[in-house]
């Protein structure tokens, strides 16, 4: 079965090097000095779009805090919705614009929902980090009776919830009963702070309506539900106490009070609401509702721009530039641009993990005056590149490529829409390495030998076409009392099993991109096995219940998994519950019979 480029895009794959900028650096237009001229040296093109859906291509990757791609994340902008693929990649061909800013939400069960936003000219590529609901040192889960005060702590961060202080968010009616609370905290000292925070560019609106650039001291998220999963919030007249530790990077900057801000998911900006006071080694304040809350000092806008060059004058394109608490990327000219808080010193630099594990470059920039534009050029050692092209037979293929060498791994990049890819080779390394590739047509590991003195052309990496003739998946539980059942498989299917990694995946979408009524996915990747077919759903999820699954054997087209610990297995056909969710709570075996040619060769 041959897949067109259009069909591959429908699988949610992206090019992480196709765009112009990333990471949401915004340019305010309240001063004419902040907009540079458009010339051949920077390629900067400001764009103004009306509110509503706009035809702009936005691509990106959604990762966990360890940098691994997250599959099945719902990426939504206005009425348009897609899901990330097995590598965490997504592509949007339309974006929702509000106030000349793009607003996109990211949501998956087991993770804190996140909304990102940036100025309209910055479509291209995004990198987004989601925080798991139970991540030691960063998030926690508690359930408690609503009739008593409740203290929830994450390290030195604290939230105090009031007794009898909750309401149903949808109906507004008072709530009494058990409250289920997920709480997260991110610090500006965190390595992935710029990718994990809401918004992404710290754009804000003060109480009087003035725009502000923020310097963050930390952010808290609180999500509350009842025992049925209905969202709760603080009822009118009630407030909760929040306590923020002072981040190490800001230990010498502790004003008596700092404003509090909540994130408006409709506008993609922070809004001022209250303040926190310095009490010993932390700041304490009160909030009247819950979403994401931010402890930030406001400044006027300044702007830093420049180019990243190699010693021979060639531009370093599509490289991440860290600017204070924010990040952006260079465009094809090596040009970057980022708004910053005027009045605050900051660093501009390239981090090692973003540039072939090379030492990078860092420049300290003294505080800018309001609306000042500062040029900071960076010079870095020129690294050689690994170049190639991904094809499915003769059709360009979009996929994620990760390089491993020795005991090190570089962050994933993706091929462009024509299947080509370029990635920086590690600095000062010669020897064996591996390209690990994830695509809609399967997975491959390609052995290469790096030479630190020249570019490496790996040529075409060709994936075979999938050959699936439809049929059924038969699920046979080994536990007594549970009968086998079948899951229909569409004929227009893309399936593969990788014997090297023990991963199995099936993907299919219909032509109209209507995921809810026509999508079918199945993954067995990093402990996640999920199917959606029309309104039918089959799910086997070990992440959620702290269990594990191991592929035991493959005989003909039969896959056998051993399930250990608490797991969840369910299957629904419309409103017909075939297997109750939560029934599979003990060790056992699950056998899935795949009808059709899996053809693992070349995958």
pLDDT (tens digit per residue) in 131-141: 999 888 999 99
> Which of 156-160, 450-454, 578-582, 599-603 is the most confident on average?
156-160
**Which of 116-120, 240-244, 490-494, 573-577 bottoms out in mean pLDDT, i.e. has the lowest?**
573-577
Residue 403 reports pLDDT greater than 50: yes
Tokens representing residue 438 in the block:
């994830």
Does the fold of domain 385-463 match that of domain 1-130? yes
**Based on the number of CB atoms within 10 Å of its own CB, is 379 exposed (0-12), middle (13-18) or buried (19 or more)?**
middle
Q: What pLDDT sits at residue 347?
A: 96
Q: Which residues contact 170 (CB under 8 A, 6 or more apart)?
A: 230, 231
Interatomic CA distance for residues 303 and 339, integer angstroms: 4
Residue 400 reports pLDDT greater than 60: yes
Interatomic CA distance for residues 66 and 153, integer angstroms: 23
Can you give the residue ranges of every domain in the chain? 1-130, 139-299, 385-463, 471-594
Interatomic CA distance for residues 516 and 464, integer angstroms: 28
Interatomic CA distance for residues 238 and 50, integer angstroms: 38
Residue 534 reports pLDDT greater than 50: no
Contact call for residues 520 and 493 (beta carbons, < 8 A):
yes
**Which of 237-251, 302-316, 345-359 bottoms out in mean pLDDT, i.e. has the lowest?**
345-359
Q: Which fold is adopted by the domain 139-299?
A: Chondroitinase Ac; Chain A, domain 3 (2.60.220)
Model confidence at 580, pLDDT cuts 50, 70, 90, reads: very low
The enclosing H or E element of 195 equals helix 193-196
- Architecture per CATH, domain 385-463, reads as Sandwich (2.60)
Residue with the bigger pLDDT between 355 and 176: it is: 176
Residue 13 reports pLDDT greater than 90: no
Q: What is the mean pLDDT of residues 364-380?
A: 95
Q: What pLDDT sits at residue 598?
A: 35
Residue 247 reports pLDDT greater than 80: yes
**Which of 476, 513, 506 has the alpha carbon at shortest distance from 588?**
476
Residue with the bigger pLDDT between 178 and 583: it is: 178
Q: Which CATH superfamily is domain 1-130 in?
A: Carboxypeptidase-like, regulatory domain (2.60.40.1120)
- Each residue's pLDDT tens digit, 174-189: 999 999 999 999 999 9
Model confidence at 308, pLDDT cuts 50, 70, 90, reads: very high
Q: Give the predicted TM-score (pTM) of the model.
A: 0.72
Q: What pLDDT sits at residue 440?
A: 64
- Each residue's pLDDT tens digit, 507-525: 433 333 333 333 333 333 3
């Amino acid at each position: 079965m041959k897949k067109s480029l259009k069909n591959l895009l429908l699988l949610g794959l992206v090019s992480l090097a196709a765009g112009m900028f990333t990471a949401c650096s915004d340019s305010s237009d309240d001063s004419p000095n902040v907009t540079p001229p458009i010339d051949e040296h920077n390629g900067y093109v400001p764009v103004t779009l009306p509110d509503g859906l706009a035809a702009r291509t936005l691509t990106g990757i959604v990762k966990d805090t360890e940098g691994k791609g997250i599959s099945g994340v719902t990426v939504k902008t206005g009425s348009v919705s897609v899901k990330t693929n097995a590598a965490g990649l997504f592509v949007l061909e339309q974006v929702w614009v509000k106030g000349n800013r793009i607003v996109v939400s990211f949501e998956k069960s087991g993770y804190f929902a996140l909304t990102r936003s940036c100025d309209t000219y910055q479509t291209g590529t995004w990198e987004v980090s989601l925080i798991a609901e139970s991540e030691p040192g960063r998030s926690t889960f508690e359930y408690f009776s609503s009739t008593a005060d409740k203290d929830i702590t994450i390290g030195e961060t604290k939230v105090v919830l009031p007794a009898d202080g909750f309401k149903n968010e949808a109906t507004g009616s008072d709530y009494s009963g058990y409250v289920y609370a997920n709480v997260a905290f991110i610090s500006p000292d965190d390595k992935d702070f710029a990718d994990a925070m809401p918004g992404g560019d710290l754009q804000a609106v003060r109480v009087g309506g003035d725009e502000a650039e923020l310097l963050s001291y930390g952010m808290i998220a609180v999500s509350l539900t009842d025992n049925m999963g209905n969202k709760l919030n603080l009822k009118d007249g009630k407030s909760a106490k929040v306590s923020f530790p002072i981040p190490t990077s800001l230990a010498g900057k502790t004003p008596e009070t700092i404003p509090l801000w909540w994130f408006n998911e409709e506008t993609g900006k922070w809004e001022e609401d209250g303040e926190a006071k310095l009490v010993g080694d932390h700041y304490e304040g009160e909030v009247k509702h819950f979403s994401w809350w931010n402890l930030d000092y406001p400044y006027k806008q300044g702007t830093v721009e420049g180019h990243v060059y190699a010693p021979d004058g060639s531009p370093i394109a599509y490289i991440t530039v860290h600017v204070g608490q924010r990040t952006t990327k260079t465009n094809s000219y090596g040009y970057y641009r980022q708004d910053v808080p005027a009045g605050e010193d900051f660093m501009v630099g390239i981090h090692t993990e973003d540039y072939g594990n090379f030492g990078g470059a860092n420049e300290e920039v003294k505080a800018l005056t309001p609306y000042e534009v500062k040029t900071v050029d960076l010079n870095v050692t020129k690294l050689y590149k690994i170049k190639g092209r991904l094809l499915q037979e003769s059709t360009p293929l979009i996929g994620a490529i990760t390089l491993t060498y020795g005991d090190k791994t570089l962050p994933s990049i993706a091929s462009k829409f024509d299947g080509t890819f370029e990635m920086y080779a590690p600095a000062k390394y010669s020897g064996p390495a591996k390209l690990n590739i994830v695509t809609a047509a399967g997975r491959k590991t390609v052995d290469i030998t790096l030479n630190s003195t020249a570019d490496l052309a790996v040529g075409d990496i060709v994936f075979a076409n999938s050959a699936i003739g439809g049929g059924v998946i038969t699920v046979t539980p080994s536990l007594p009392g549970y009968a086998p059942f079948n899951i229909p498989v569409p004929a227009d299917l893309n399936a593969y099993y990788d014997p090297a990694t023990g991963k199995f995946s099936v993907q299919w979408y219909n032509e109209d991109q209507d995921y809810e009524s026509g999508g079918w996915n199945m993954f067995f990747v990093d402990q996640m096995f999920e199917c959606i077919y029309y309104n039918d759903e089959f799910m086997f999820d070990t992440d959620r219940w702290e269990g594990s699954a191991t592929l035991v054997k493959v005989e003909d087209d039969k896959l056998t998994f051993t399930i250990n610990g608490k797991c969840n297995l369910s299957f629904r056909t419309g409103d017909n519950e075939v297997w109750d969710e939560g029934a599979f709570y003990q060790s056992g075996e699950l056998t899935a019979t795949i009808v059709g040619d899996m053809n693992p060769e070349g995958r």
